[in-house]
Each structure stands twice: as structure tokens, then as C-alpha cells.
Amino acid sequence: MPHYFLHRSMPTAAPTFAALLGALVLILGVAGCANYRQNAPLYKRNVALQNQNAALRRRLRRQQVAIADLKAQLAAKTPRLSTLPPRRLGALFTVSAIHITSDTAVAHLHGSKSFNGFRVFVRTLMPGNLVLPATGTFTIEAFDLGMAKGSPRLGRWVFTPPQTKKLWYGHFGLNEFCFNCPWKKTPVNHAITFHVTFKDALTGNIFTNQRVIKITKR
């Protein structure tokens, strides 16, 4: 009898996990590239909007700072003055502080035979506490804080730049401004608090100084 050889087909090997994973990555990569090309204009627009938003936030912060500065000026009733630019001001000697000196005392003003006011001495100083005569507006206030009744303010006196220019006291090496301040109210105690505000006519800057001085009769 003839011999018949029966041939069985060998089963196909199942795909490995690595092969499936590689195929999946390839498919996702192709899909991702296609998706990026399709949505690239949208991505670029989104980035541009983010940059624009950041620029607007920076601009808003600058505007808020400027508004706060203007509000502070309005609150103090000191609008910004036209003056030299900072670079030119930096080349000049300018005032950096003021100081009420201990020469301040009660005085006989306008030929009075009795004490009827204060003679207040103030120095305008540049860096290093060096004296620098400077023209501007001086506002001087005096307080007797030890008064038991009524307002402690003894008076308020304002001196304009033209007046101030005439009140520089350079005798005997004092080199300071001398202000005659008639009493609005007679002090009771010897310890008097003086508060001086100076607005520099050159720079527009404002300086203040406060000092308690034990008043003596001279």
C-alpha cells in the first residue's frame, strides 16, 4: 500500500508584547504628528495670547504704581513740578535734609519789650550734613504738648521762597535761616515741639524735621 505522509501545518507564532507596544507607539506618533500639524496654528495663537496677557499684566502693574504715586501727591497737595531731569539734578548740589537748630528760642519781635514769639533757626543740608542755602517754602508749627487745656498748637507760619531768600542768617558763622514767628498763643511750658516742612523750589522735594527744644529767654 502506498504510504501517505500527512503534513500538519505549523501554527503561526503569536505576536510578542514588544512588537505590539512598538506598533502602538508608531501609530500614536503618526497620529500625534498629524494632530500637531492640524492644530499648529491654534498652538501658536495660544502662545501669542499668553505672551500678550503677560505684557498686559506688566503694563497694568506699572499703571497701578503711577496711579498710587499720583494719589499720594494729590493727598499731600503736592503736584509734581516741572524741574530739571534727574541726570542734570545729579550734577548739582541739592538739599537732602533739613535740621532745626538749638539756636531756636523765644524773642522780642518787632521791637516788643516782652517776649512775644519764637525765633526759629533751620539749616538746609546736602549729603554729609554740609550746609547748603536753598530757596523754597517753609511751613513752621510750634506745639506746647504739656498744656492741660485747649489746643497745644501755638501757631503756624508759612514763608514763601521770596521771603525765605531774605532770611538767610550768615552772621558769626551760623549759616542758617532765621524765622520770626509771633505767638498765636502764649506757651505755658518750656519744652516746645517744633515741626518744620520745607519744599525745595529747585527740585520740588519735600523735607520735614521735628524737634523738642527747651526754650530759654535770651
Say what the alpha-carbon torsion angle 144, 146, 149, 155 is, to the nearest 10 degrees.
0
Sign of CA pseudo-dihedral 182, 188, 190, 194: negative
Q: Give the three-state DSSP class for 125.
A: strand
- The topology under which CATH files domain 86-214 is Immunoglobulin-like (2.60.40)
Question: In the predicted model, is pLDDT for residue 2 greater than 70?
Answer: no
Domain extent listing, the chain: 18-80, 86-214
What is each CA distance from 95 to 72, 123, 136, 179, in whole angstroms?
A: 22, 10, 11, 19
Express each pLDDT in 36-68 by its tens digit.
566 677 777 777 778 877 777 777 777 777 676
Express each pLDDT in 86-141 by its tens digit.
777 666 778 999 999 999 999 999 888 889 999 999 999 999 999 999 999 999 99
Position 10 scores a pLDDT of 47
Global model pTM greater than 0.75:
no
